[in-house]
Structure 1
């Protein structure tokens, strides 16, 4: 599986490691990896395009771990375990953190010891349009807790998140049931259930230039599948039924998502557990009729 020796940093060393999971996105990595500040761990999910070789040869600040197969979003868990810093910033192969953003994030996390996830502002494309999810998080429907640096959230964009390593690992990181796309929601719910805080901090900025190598229909099917699976793992059965109904109304992609969810149901049921009432109430409040308008589910709800 590659090198698994943990990174070590001194007291005055870096506080944030950037963790990137990628598969067959060499061109995107050539653009994004040089832009990261501080240590970087690249988890290669079985690429066949020379991504790992390129990064190892050209980018001395990047530690490459070749996994030999596609582990999906849970590949990041290994990167977090390998990181020797107290905080970990996630990035996609087509995203990077703005200059100074990680130092700013570390300062915020140092100052707010209950904060497990700092959800930053994600600017999309060359024109730097704020991702629509950021507007939802900034609106702060859950309010702002006195010991957190910004509005509380129950979802986030992985490519715009900096996590407290100990909290992330204690919550189990991303899971194999969801595997990829929308993997953030279950983790967010579990962190909140454990008493950790999650907050939006708009002064910490990431840039995302989405790769053209995307399958919109496939992503819609994944979103539907994973919305159902996440509901099965953590939400009341009426919410599960609502997720299935919503997917069924989503056309061919939604119906495909339901079919794809069936094979993963045993694993989802095996990990099913109820959220604490206050977390379920907060999550449910984000789905009230006035807010429930088939919003994008790529990163869960704010």
Structure 2
């Protein structure tokens, strides 16, 4: 068994969390293993039953597979980061990768500015590389650009298009176990920023995303649940109470809100146990983002 937190030996490595999407994953690995940076790649396999591990071992013997006995969702990324010794960790999903040169650009940016904890990449979607609408949101962040940073400060990002400083990610605990899938990145951005790290947009780094066309009926409920959970974990009590009240009101007539509210309640005790208010300056940033969103 490797040590729990091995010392970094490569500038940038790639961690992919996957479950039962072998065909898509293999196509992604074709792209990642062809990059000129030749990053070490680790696949955190969330208990797949479709032969993912064997197929990766056969087709990509240099790609390491971390076999997890159960589906740990986004927490598999935490496992992958602990197991992959690189200074910086680029996160991909099994349907996303980085353009040639992007990982080298990320490493150069983070080497030059040791205060950066995470870079939120520019995202191109599909075969025609259509700019994702999130690019404009990140670029227009009202939090401003600090000296030496590649782009504006942000308090959210897309999990399959981000490069983290491994030491910062591990020190802040990575993805929170209560979140699961759906907007879980926001809490990580809060925690990194609260710990003094810069989280910023880096349009110099491009991730390509080929999202599946299959519907994900539970995703919206998960996102609503996680949005309220995040308020309980890190925001002032009046904010958490208002968010919970709004969700409860919506649950009377909306099935998605009802599902989210039902999932929220059993998680509240654990959220209260891990409740840590954001520093005043970070909370002020969150409020500026909320005001900009409401106005826009």
Same fold per TM (> 0.5)?
yes
The answer to whether the Cα contact below 8 Å between 1:8 and 1:84 also exists between their aligned partners in 2 is yes
Look up the match of 1:170: 171
Take 1:80 and 1:240, find their aligned partners in 2: how far apart are those partners?
A: 31
Take 1:208 and 1:258, find their aligned partners in 2: how far apart are those partners?
A: 31
SS of residue paired to 1:52: helix
Take 2:129 and 2:11, find their aligned partners in 1: how far apart are those partners?
A: 27
Matching of residues 130-279 of structure 1 within 5 Å: 130-215=131-216, 217-247=217-247, 248-249=249-250, 251-279=254-282
Matched, 1:30 2:26: yes
Shift, 1:4, TM fit: 3.8
Take 1:246 and 1:63, find their aligned partners in 2: how far apart are those partners?
A: 45
Look up the match of 1:299: none
Take 2:273 and 2:134, find their aligned partners in 1: how far apart are those partners?
A: 31
* TM-score after normalising by structure 1: 0.90
The answer to whether the Cα contact below 8 Å between 1:152 and 1:198 also exists between their aligned partners in 2 is yes
Shift, 1:70, TM fit: 0.7
* Post-superposition CA distance 1:77-127 (Å, at most 9, x none): 111111211100000011111111111110111011100001110111222
Task: State the 4+ residue runs in structure 1 displaced beyond 6 angstroms.
Answer: 6-9
The answer to whether the Cα contact below 8 Å between 1:32 and 1:93 also exists between their aligned partners in 2 is yes
The answer to whether the Cα contact below 8 Å between 1:28 and 1:211 also exists between their aligned partners in 2 is no
* TM-score after normalising by structure 2: 0.92
The answer to whether the Cα contact below 8 Å between 1:174 and 1:183 also exists between their aligned partners in 2 is yes
* Post-superposition CA distance 1:230-250 (Å, at most 9, x none): 111001122223433454537
Look up the match of 1:15: 11
Q: Which moved more, 1:141-150 or 1:41-50?
A: 141-150
* Post-superposition CA distance 1:114-154 (Å, at most 9, x none): 00001110111222222222211101310011132211111
Matched, 1:280 2:266: no
Look up the match of 2:293: 291
Look up the match of 1:298: none
SS of residue paired to 2:290: coil
Number of equivalences: 287
Shift, 1:265, TM fit: 1.1
The answer to whether the Cα contact below 8 Å between 2:118 and 2:198 also exists between their aligned partners in 1 is yes
Look up the match of 1:54: 55
* Post-superposition CA distance 1:171-198 (Å, at most 9, x none): 0000111022211111111111111101
Look up the match of 1:117: 118
* Post-superposition CA distance 1:61-87 (Å, at most 9, x none): 210011010111111111111121110
Take 1:269 and 1:89, find their aligned partners in 2: how far apart are those partners?
A: 31
Take 1:7 and 1:277, find their aligned partners in 2: how far apart are those partners?
A: 35
Look up the match of 1:42: 43
SS of residue paired to 1:286: helix
Take 1:99 and 1:234, find their aligned partners in 2: how far apart are those partners?
A: 37
* Post-superposition CA distance 1:13-72 (Å, at most 9, x none): x31010000111111101101211411000000111111111111112210011010111
The answer to whether the Cα contact below 8 Å between 2:28 and 2:95 also exists between their aligned partners in 1 is yes
Take 2:55 and 2:283, find their aligned partners in 1: how far apart are those partners?
A: 45
Take 1:253 and 1:50, find their aligned partners in 2: how far apart are those partners?
A: 33
The answer to whether the Cα contact below 8 Å between 1:114 and 1:148 also exists between their aligned partners in 2 is no
Take 2:119 and 2:218, find their aligned partners in 1: how far apart are those partners?
A: 29
Look up the match of 1:300: none
